[in-house]
Structure 1
């Protein structure tokens, strides 16, 4: 009797588990179809089957992926054109000047050195730092950036304490 009782309990548990699984799946399918905007849904006079609902969801997801790729492509193109405009603006503002440009600015207890040069005019960061150190300065920070074919080098330095 124990075997029979145990078997019927297992069947009842399986039926309950399966019924709960179907309820959960039906709820998930409803949630999925509710996420599809009405303008994307195909108008149907009758209730769509789950397979049709899945097809609509799949189609909508594919459209979203294509839209994302198109927007990424447009973003890259916009970033490139913005960078080109920025480079052209910098080139135009610097083009009237004779390069290289070397500027010193006294900041009180320290100073800033800015060197603007063309990329084709080679200089090394080591050379500039060596000149400053030979003059009794200690470089605290250095920044080097390229915009197009223009090179910007900014150094912050201070006089060595034992040299003061």
Structure 2
């Protein structure tokens, strides 16, 4: 009689373990399905579960970095919006134009230039100076607010960058 209870306990443990493995296998497939197919090397046709976990961890870290980058860009855009909202205050104070603001964002540089509508301003000269100093322009835009023009230039720094004044 004792032997049958011991056998039933072993059988129960085997069933529990089998169910646990089935659940884990399903979760592993579910995780793998969340990672884009192009992320895996085509030469790696048979990946082990450990390799899939490694790829998933790398992919998740890349997504985290992208989220941080996008948060930074959002904050930057919010700062530009606040800057444009401050134009009305600036007009009342009568600030001298042009206004140049340079932000060092690590490997990128954001240049904000505020000029008057009636001023002759050579936008291409600013871009030329940036490129001469070793930065490649990634994005350039402008917006008109009242009688002011807000130019925003995003540059990727490829070499050590020292900014000289534009006159």
So what's the TM-score if we normalise by structure 2? 0.53
- Rounded Cα–Cα distance in structure 2 between residues aligned with 1:69 and 1:75: 10
Alignment match, 1:114 = none
Once the two structures are superposed, residues 12-61 of structure 1 have per-residue CA deviations (whole angstroms, 9 ceiling, x without a partner) of 00000000000000000000001001222222353111011111101100
Corresponding residue for 1:63?
62
- Based on CA coordinates, which of the two structures has the bigger radius of gyration? 1
Distance apart, 1:90 and its partner CA: 4.0
CA distance in 2, matches of 1:30, 1:77: 39
* Superposition RMSD in Å: 1.5
2:45 alignment partner in structure 1? 46
TM-score when scaled to structure 1?
0.54
What SS does the corresponding residue of 1:27 show, helix, strand or coil? helix
- In structure 1, the partner of 2:140 is none
Stretches of structure 2 lacking an aligned partner (at least 5 in a row): 95-167
Aligned residue number for residue 34 of structure 2: 35
- Report 1:10-159 matches (<5 A): 10-92=9-91, 94-95=92-93
List runs of 5+ in structure 1 lacking aligned partners: 97-164
